[in-house]
Amino acid sequence: MSGRKPRSTATGRVTMQEVAKAAGTSMISVSRAFRDSAMVSPELAARIKEAAAALGYVPDRAASALASARSMNVAVVIPSLTNTVFVEMLAGIDEILSPQGYQMITATSFYAPAEELRLLRGLLAFRPDGVLLTGIDHLPETLKLLTSSARPAVHMMELNNQPGSYSVGFSQEEGGAAIARHFVERGYKKIGFVAAQLDPRTLARGSGFRQALEAAGLGAPRELMVPERSSIALGATLLDRMLAAYPDTDAVFFCNDDLAQGALFRCQRRGIAVPGQVALAGFNDLPASACTTPALSSVATPRYQIGREAAKMLLELMAGRVPASFRLDLGFTLNIRETS
């Protein structure tokens, strides 16, 4: 149906060379017109654009990256694609990087530090101009690889105090502590903590929660910690197990909203009064949490903003500038609702 593609090179692609010939100019002018049309005269730019469109020219980033030192790629490693928290962060990153011409190259570590190292090695083959990693707990080799790559990097979600290290996030400990203080304030005494997917952030929330309870003179919480992936269904199961083990529990902090929502749904089904018999609180404040009846108390985390700010910080670093801060605390919001 379509005419033959113009081609002269071995690979059959339309190259800059051909565009140059068609526009009656040199390759370098085509290159300049595409990268920043202000570098050539308006007439030449127009002629080049026209010739390129007519030929169906598509630039080759690989060749460009090879010839210049810039790839316009940013490597991003997140633990999981099935956790909205990280995906929203990704959306924030892309929203900032994409308009600047940068392409995210992402990989999923499944929460495994060794896998993160392997993935980073693979992503560095793209010669990214910058790197975005989730969390601050990495294998020593990962850190070494990062320094030896000489690429600017920003860590997301948690805050880092290491000199020379950049991070954007909030204090997970403080988030956990905020829930604890809220429970104490409300007068709950027999308090439980339920966690799954025991990644560093989950553990940090737990330790903040625990410390705040102790500081308030309450002993250690009843704990239920399982390594499995968090899910709504698991939250229901874990609520059952917690109440079976400690029937008099009057408040439970779930390390994330998936678990907390599952627990709330289970209470609804079993006819357990919330917060009458047992109070519930979660973490992350997923959209559903504000809509359930009773509405779920949760710690709202700024993951979308973290993505945006981390991307902005990386942009600064990639431009060779020094960011305003090397450690950006975006905080969190304690949303007390009806379950506590």
Binding residues (CB under 7 A) for DNA: these are 9-11, 13, 15-17, 25-32, 34-35, 39-41, 43-44, 59-60, 63-64, 66-70
Distances (CA, A) of 236 to 77, 115, 205, 263, 265: 30, 30, 20, 4, 7
* Among residues 8, 162, 293, 325, the one that binds a second copy under rule CB under 8 A: 293
Compute how many residues bind a second copy; rule: CB under 8 A: 59
Which region among 173-181, 241-249, 264-272, 276-284 touches a second copy (by CB under 8 A)? 264-272
Burial category of 278 from C-beta neighbours within 10 Å (exposed 0-12, middle 13-18, buried 19 and up): buried
Residue with tokens 């357990």: 272
Cβ neighbours for 302, distance < 8 A, ≥ 6 positions apart: 170, 330, 331, 332
71's contact among DNA, a second copy, none, with CB below 5 to 8 A by partner kind, is a second copy
* Among residues 29, 167, 249, 292, the one that binds a second copy under rule CB under 8 A: 292
Give the nearer residue to DNA in terms of CB position, either 70 or 181.
Answer: 70
Residue type, 228: E
**Degrees, nearest 5: CA angle 259-188-233:** 15
Instruction: State the sign of the Cα–Cα–Cα–Cα dihedral 208, 212, 213, 217.
Output: positive
Which region among 123-131, 212-220, 239-247, 277-285 touches a second copy (by CB under 8 A)? 123-131
* Among residues 71, 284, 297, 340, the one that binds a second copy under rule CB under 8 A: 71
Longest C-alpha distance within the chain, in Å?
84
Burial category of 172 from C-beta neighbours within 10 Å (exposed 0-12, middle 13-18, buried 19 and up): buried
Shortest distance in whole angstroms from residue 182 CB to a second copy: 23
* Among residues 144, 214, 329, 331, the one that binds a second copy under rule CB under 8 A: 144
- Tell whether residue 233 is a contact of a second copy (CB under 8 A): yes
Give the nearer residue to a second copy in terms of CB position, either 269 or 321.
Answer: 269
237's contact among a second copy, DNA, none, with CB below 5 to 8 A by partner kind, is none
161's contact among DNA, a second copy, none, with CB below 5 to 8 A by partner kind, is none
Give the nearer residue to a second copy in terms of CB position, either 5 or 189.
Answer: 5
How many CA atoms within 13 Å lie on the side-chain side of 51? 24
Closest CA to 307 of 328, 338, 336, 281: 328
27's contact among DNA, a second copy, none, with CB below 5 to 8 A by partner kind, is DNA
Cβ neighbours for 1, distance < 8 A, ≥ 6 positions apart: none
* Among residues 225, 288, 330, 334, the one that binds a second copy under rule CB under 8 A: 288
236's contact among DNA, a second copy, none, with CB below 5 to 8 A by partner kind, is a second copy
- Are the beta carbons of 338 and 292 closer than 8 angstroms? no
